[in-house]
Amino acid sequence: MKLNYYAETDSLYIDLSEQPSTESREVSEGVVLDYDATGNLVGIDIDNASRKVQLDQLVLNRLPSQVTTVAI
């Protein structure tokens, strides 16, 4: 899973899978869910993210994986 924030557009994309998106559905204003060819959720796109999501803090609890941080 990858979280990518794009300051120039104030959008947050949560990439849940390496599978390509084949269908997108807007579930509320500025929130789009992306699905793969078999109907599995593969990503979440949030427009105006700074107004919808608390971006100043990220807390990860009990994840069964390695956490990698990339600062730009």
Task: Give the model's confidence band at 72: pLDDT under 50 very low, under 70 low, under 90 confident, else very high.
Answer: low
Q: Match 């500025």 to its residue by tokens.
A: 30
Cβ neighbours, 10 Å, residue 46? 19
Number of structural domains, the chain? 1
Q: What is the CA radius of gyration of the chain?
A: 13
**Cβ distance 13 to 6 under 8 Å?**
yes
pLDDT at position 71 is 67
Q: Which tokens belong to 33?
A: 């869910």
**Residue 18 belongs to what domain range?**
2-52
Residue 63 lies in a domain: no
Residue 9 lies in a domain: yes
Residue 71 lies in a domain: no
Q: Could you read off the pLDDT of 13-67 as tens digits, one per residue? A: 999 999 999 999 999 999 999 999 999 999 999 999 999 999 988 888 887 888 7
Residue 26 lies in a domain: yes
Residue 58 lies in a domain: no
